[in-house]
Structure 1
Amino acid sequence: MIELASLLTFAFTVLVIELTPGPNMAWLAVLSVNEGRRAGLAAVAGIALGLGLVGLAAALGLGAVIERSDMLYGLLRWGGVSFLFYLAWEGWREAGETAPVEASQGLRRYFLRGFVINILNPKAALFYIAVFPEFIDPAGPVAQQAVMLAAISVLIATLIHLAIIALAGSARLLLDNRPRRLIVQRALSLLLVAVALWLLVSTAR
């Protein structure tokens, strides 16, 4: 099995990567400022499920198949970027609206969107493909080790995401002035556009 020192090194690597601004961080900030903490929590649950399934797919070797296929990789890449652009547009549009979304429908929608963002995120798959082999002992049960590393990765990511929605939710309470909140919401939507463009460039082959 994986030694404790290797697990700690892996956890630190994941922490550094997760603290780097990316699609999840930007979108959760937009969502939590726009809709509040409950929406953010629903999204975090969807993100965790998506990351877990991507990690499981990598453990089963499906990630390597996608990485070797230019067509599959391109579909995944453009699908993820397009979805982020859509979310940025929606955040910009909804910043100017006052009609609330029905609670149950909204939470279900945010869960599914968090899930889709990560299923369509090629950087998540590439992370598992590139980083996992460095920490797995080939003499031990490879699949079990990969599942363990995926679980650690999802746990760390989830804790960071919870911190983001807590901070963004607090900011939402402070932004009780509608014009000021509108500015912040649309600035965050522009940030999400920037992240989508960064993802498009950084995943190019």
Structure 2
Amino acid sequence: MQETYVSGILLAYAAFAIGLFSPGPNIMSIIGTSMANSRPAGKSLALGIATGSFLWGTLTLLGLTSLLTVYASLMTIIKIAGACYLFWLAFKAFRSAGRSKRQELSSISLGNNHWAYYRRGLVIQMTNPKAAFTWIAVISLALDHAAPWWVGLSVIAGTSILSTIGHLTYAYAFSTQTMITAYRKARRWIEGLLGSFFTFAGYKLLTSDV
């Protein structure tokens, strides 16, 4: 049983980490801000977004744990919903891989007030409704109605570290045009791999024991 939980936790880590390789508006804002303003500004924005990710994860875990304490049968519905969202992410990745149009960068300019960049990143992440669905899918990969307390905490702790490292990496590495150009050349291959992984993760979630 312990091995089952460990494999689920590792799969949750992998799904979260792979998701960081598919830049959405948040990450494109980090990249654009790092390029247009400065690397420190991008770092502050990245830390705000990572903090928001941690808060979403914590709120999702507390909510799911509370629901499962009262309604253990809800785990089946939650896993189906999580799997459907992973399949949706796979569809989006495959669709993006099939397109030649590149995603445009967006930048945020708040002067040299790095605390303001941090707050903006936090607000951006906390007002993103898709974050809740992402976290339900990620946590469902590791959780079931009988999971001990350390399983959820392990997911939150590990993904928080991955989120901080991943978002800061974008601020550091993609603050130069060279990295942007290299990523855009490989984007369609990356999106194709992401689609394959999300399909696999959704299948694992649907076929896992509840």
* TM-score, scaled to structure 2: 0.57
**Quick one: which of 7, 23, 29 aligns to 2:21?**
29
Structure 1 residues 109 and 48 mapped into 2: Cα distance closer, same or farther (>3 Å)? closer
- Aligned residue type for 1:63: L
Structure 1 residues 168 and 189 mapped into 2: Cα distance closer, same or farther (>3 Å)? farther
Question: 1:174 matched to which residue of 2?
Answer: 179
- Provide the rounded CA distance (Å) in 1 between the counterparts of 2:167 and 2:104: 19
**Quick one: which of 126, 130, 133 aligns to 2:144?**
126
In structure 2, the gaps of 5 or more residues are: 32-44, 109-123
Structure 1 residues 126 and 182 mapped into 2: Cα distance closer, same or farther (>3 Å)? same
After TM superposition, give the deviation of residue 78 of structure 1 in Å: 1.2
Q: Deviations over 1:65-123 (max 9, x none)?
A: 34x21xx222211111111111222233234233538779xx56993222222135434
Identity of aligned residues (%): 17
Asked if the contact 1:48–1:158 (Cα under 8 Å) also holds between the matched residues in 2, the reply is: yes
Structure 1 residues 117 and 167 mapped into 2: Cα distance closer, same or farther (>3 Å)? same
Structure 1 residues 159 and 111 mapped into 2: Cα distance closer, same or farther (>3 Å)? farther
After TM superposition, give the deviation of residue 46 of structure 1 in Å: 5.1
Q: Deviations over 1:143-188 (max 9, x none)?
A: xxxxxx85x8634431122223445674896362444322122222
Asked if the contact 2:96–2:188 (Cα under 8 Å) also holds between the matched residues in 1, the reply is: no
**Quick one: which of 58, 67, 72 aligns to 1:62?**
67
Q: How many residues align?
A: 168
**Quick one: which of 98, 115, 124 aligns to 2:132?**
115
Instruction: Say which structure is richer in helix.
Output: 1
Q: Secondary structure at the match of 1:130?
A: coil
**Quick one: which of 91, 95, 109 aligns to 1:93?**
95
1:187 counterpart = 2:193: yes
Q: Deviations over 1:107-141 (max 9, x none)?
A: 569932222221354345438x5222x79xxxxxx
In structure 1, the gaps of 5 or more residues are: 1-12, 136-148
